Structure 1
Amino acid sequence: MNIQIFGKSKSFDTKKAERYFKECGIKFQSVDLPTKGLSKGELNSVLAAVGDIDKLIDPKAKGEQAMLIKYLGSTEEKIEKLLDYPELFAAPIVRNGKKATVGFCPEVWKSWE
């Protein structure tokens, strides 16, 4: 398994995801979303696994850009806004190759093992 956790340092769900994989003895790579973000290829891979761009947008995000992204019409516009403002991503995004989840989803991660 090649687990990547894209999260925010102040996110409780990110901390819970990291703790889950540590307790299971599974090595993972942790990436800070607000500073590093996702590449366009990574975002497209996660989007293919998750299925809906709105699942990737943090409903608790604050600020001008967070308000604007809710009203963008097309998926492509939302992708560009997320790439420009990675702090708008919901966290954690957990990837295992082509599979991905958004949020704390241990029931799904168990099936990856």
Structure 2
Amino acid sequence: MIQIFGTKKCRNTQKALRFFSDRGIEVQFRDLSVKPPSPGELDDMAKAAGGYDILIDLSGPAAEQRGLRYMDYDAREILLEDPALYKTPLVRPGKGLAAAGPDEAAWKGMVKTA
């Protein structure tokens, strides 16, 4: 089963949900605004995706409002504080593999392992 973390209004999250649905892959959706990842889940996703910084959407409104482009910060702590900073969708087929944002090439690789 594939886990998708995102928000209901996010077009990229909707695209990921449709991508896996069209291929008959079972998906578990988690709305970040309702239930963000736990610290352990965040650590697993960051390790699988290549680091905490990859999970942050620096071009999004939440990052611009905080001025993240112009400051030093601890990516893990800031993601735990504000789930609006995640690059969505966060897609993972389990431990060891994850993709942040609209990465259709990574999704295709996940279909092969699902």
> Shared fold (TM-score greater than 0.5)?
yes
Which structure has more relative contact order (CA 8 Å, sep 6+)? It is: 1
After TM superposition, the structure 1 = structure 2 runs for residues 90-101 of structure 1, keeping only pairs within 5 Å, are 90-98=87-95, 99-101=97-99
Letter in 1 for 2:75: K
65 and 85 in structure 1: CA distance in 2 versus 1, 3 angstrom threshold: farther
- Determine the C-alpha separation between the residues in 2 that align with 1:64 and 1:56: 12
Give % identity: 38
- Determine the C-alpha separation between the residues in 2 that align with 1:56 and 1:17: 16
Alignment partner of 1:81 out of 78, 83, 91: 78
Moved more, 22-31 or 54-63: 54-63
Q: 1:106 maps to what in 2? A: 104
The Cα of 1:79 is off from its aligned counterpart by 1.0
Q: Does the 8 A contact of 1:69 with 1:81 survive in 2? A: no
Is the aligned partner of 1:54 residue 2:53? yes
Which runs of 5 or more structure 1 residues have no equivalent in the other structure?
none
1:49-108 deviation per Cα after TM superposition (whole angstroms, max 9, x unaligned): 1113222111233258852544234xxx32112111111111000011121001122222
State the TM-score, normalized to the length of structure 2. 0.84
State the TM-score, normalized to the length of structure 1. 0.84
Q: Does the 8 A contact of 2:62 with 2:84 survive in 1? A: no
| RMSD over equivalenced CA pairs, Å | 1.9
- Length, aligned pairs only: 109
Q: Does the 8 A contact of 1:72 with 1:78 survive in 2? A: no
Is the aligned partner of 1:72 residue 2:72? yes
13 and 64 in structure 1: CA distance in 2 versus 1, 3 angstrom threshold: closer
- Determine the C-alpha separation between the residues in 2 that align with 1:109 and 1:61: 22
Q: 1:18 maps to what in 2? A: 17
